[in-house]
């Protein structure tokens, strides 16, 4: 059984879907796991108070450093510290890996379905990556690439269920919320000189592998590598697919009307071929990860490490540039 940490206000502020999940659970009378009271149900008379607290910052998030006492079936408890960070709120228990994706899908489809019912149509015209498609729903992407999960997380289908476009999605609001843009273990990178150079530099510094707290990075100067990390390993094919996505999005995806068609907007988006800049700039990044495996890329390996292409925002003050 998974062991969850106490919920923090920063956990809720990281992704508005976590806020929506908390409100929904309270409204539906679902149970919440707590630090010391086991499973509890928030009193229905407290729902309005919960909503006000959870959306005090701009109508979407709770304010930093705040708390709220609510009545439950087991007495008064304080949000957030008395509640546990279960999978609904970004915890790493069973199902948490798909929770954020599922919530983002549900959020998009609910808004889309409301729009379809209002306009009494089976689909909308959606402009994405330079073309206009019929959008009837967004579904979880199916398929693999070289035995791994595809770059695409979500697929837009038309009214006949035929795939039309592909989306890479990350939960959160800032560049720091990305885990990585892409891995470096694909076969096509076995002889890549830039990846090999980076791996060799780390290996020479640490022939026995990384130790706790050690991280290194280097700018990625090869634009093709950046595009493949951002949009998928088949970026050069120029054909949209599960391994060459049309757009990437950070946070909830909303539909915006633009004349005769709609576009998808989020906290941060990129259309196939857009180069990330600022805190989203792409860098090679390798970090210690204990005994969970070795970093392998371009025919080389570094023990006790994970390597990939990450946004610059993931670099800490102790990271060293090599």
pLDDT tens digits, 101-146: 888 999 999 999 999 999 999 999 999 999 999 999 999 999 998 8
The secondary structure of 44-105 as a DSSP string is: GGGHHHHHHHHTTBTTTBPPTT--EEEEEBTEEEEETTTBB--GGGT--STTHHHHHHHHHH
Q: Residue 107 has which token pair?
A: 């959020």
Average pLDDT over residues 251-275: 96
Please, are residues 228 and 192 in contact by the beta-carbon 8 Å criterion? no
Q: Residue 9 has which token pair?
A: 């206000």
Average pLDDT over residues 317-321: 91
Average pLDDT over residues 188-203: 94
The structure tokens 């009837």 sit at 136
Position 96 pLDDT exceeds 80: no
Binning pLDDT at 50, 70 and 90, where does residue 148 land?
confident
pLDDT tens digits, 168-188: 999 888 998 888 899 998 888
Position 94 pLDDT exceeds 60: no
Q: Residue 81 has which token pair?
A: 């510290």
DSSP 5: P
Q: Distance (Å, rounded) from C-alpha 76 to C-alpha 79?
A: 10
Please, are residues 258 and 127 in contact by the beta-carbon 8 Å criterion? yes
Mean pLDDT computed over every residue of the chain: 92
Average pLDDT over residues 32-39: 94
Q: Distance (Å, rounded) from C-alpha 113 to C-alpha 92?
A: 30
Position 1 pLDDT exceeds 60: no
Q: Residue 43 has which token pair?
A: 């009193």
Q: What is the pLDDT of residue 93?
A: 56
Taking alpha carbons only, the member of 309, 302, 305 closest to residue 289 is 305
Average pLDDT over residues 87-111: 77
Packing angle between helix 16-28 and helix 47-54, nearest 10 degrees? 180
Please, are residues 320 and 288 in contact by the beta-carbon 8 Å criterion? no
Angle made by CA atoms 230, 18, 157, in degrees to the nearest 5: 50
| Chain center to CA of 158 | 24
pLDDT tens digits, 152-169: 999 999 999 999 999 999
Average pLDDT over residues 284-308: 91
Binning pLDDT at 50, 70 and 90, where does residue 95 land?
very low
Q: Residue 6 has which token pair?
A: 């106490």
Q: For the chain, what is the radius of gyration of the CA atoms?
A: 22
Please, are residues 50 and 21 in contact by the beta-carbon 8 Å criterion? no
pLDDT tens digits, 197-246: 999 999 999 999 999 999 999 999 999 999 999 999 999 999 999 999 99
Q: Distance (Å, rounded) from C-alpha 284 to C-alpha 264?
A: 29
* pLDDT more than 70, % of the chain: 97
């Amino acid at each position: 059984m998974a062991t969850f940490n106490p919920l923090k206000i920063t956990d809720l502020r990281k992704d508005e879907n976590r806020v929506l999940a908390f409100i929904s659970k309270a409204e539906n009378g679902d149970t919440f796991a707590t630090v010391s009271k086991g499973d509890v149900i928030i009193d229905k008379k407290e729902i309005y108070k919960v909503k006000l607290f959870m959306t005090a910052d701009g109508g979407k998030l709770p304010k930093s450093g705040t708390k709220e006492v609510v009545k439950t079936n087991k007495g008064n408890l304080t949000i957030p510290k008395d509640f546990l960070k279960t999978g609904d709120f970004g915890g790493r228990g069973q199902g948490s890996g798909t929770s954020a994706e599922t919530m983002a899908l549900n959020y998009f489809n609910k808004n889309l379905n409301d729009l379809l019912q209002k306009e009494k149509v089976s689909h909308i015209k959606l402009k994405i990556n330079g073309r206009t498609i019929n959008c009837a729903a967004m579904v979880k992407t199916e398929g693999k690439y070289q035995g791994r999960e595809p770059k695409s997380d979500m697929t837009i289908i038309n009214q006949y269920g035929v795939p039309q476009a592909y989306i890479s999605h990350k939960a959160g609001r800032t560049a720091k919320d990305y885990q990585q843009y892409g891995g470096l273990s694909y076969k096509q990178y076995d002889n890549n000189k830039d990846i090999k150079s980076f791996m060799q530099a780390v290996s020479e510094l640490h022939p026995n592998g990384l130790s706790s707290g050690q991280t290194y990075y280097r700018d990625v100067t090869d634009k093709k590598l950046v595009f493949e990390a951002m949009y998928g390993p088949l970026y050069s094919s120029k054909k949209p697919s599960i391994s060459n996505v049309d757009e990437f999005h950070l946070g909830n995806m909303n539909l915006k009307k633009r004349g005769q068609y709609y576009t998808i907007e989020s906290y941060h988006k990129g259309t196939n071929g857009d180069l990330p800049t600022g805190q989203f700039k792409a860098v090679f990044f390798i970090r210690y990860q204990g005994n969970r495996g070795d970093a392998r890329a371009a025919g080389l390996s570094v023990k006790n490490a994970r390597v990939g292409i990450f946004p610059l925002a993931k670099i800490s003050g102790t990271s060293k540039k090599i």
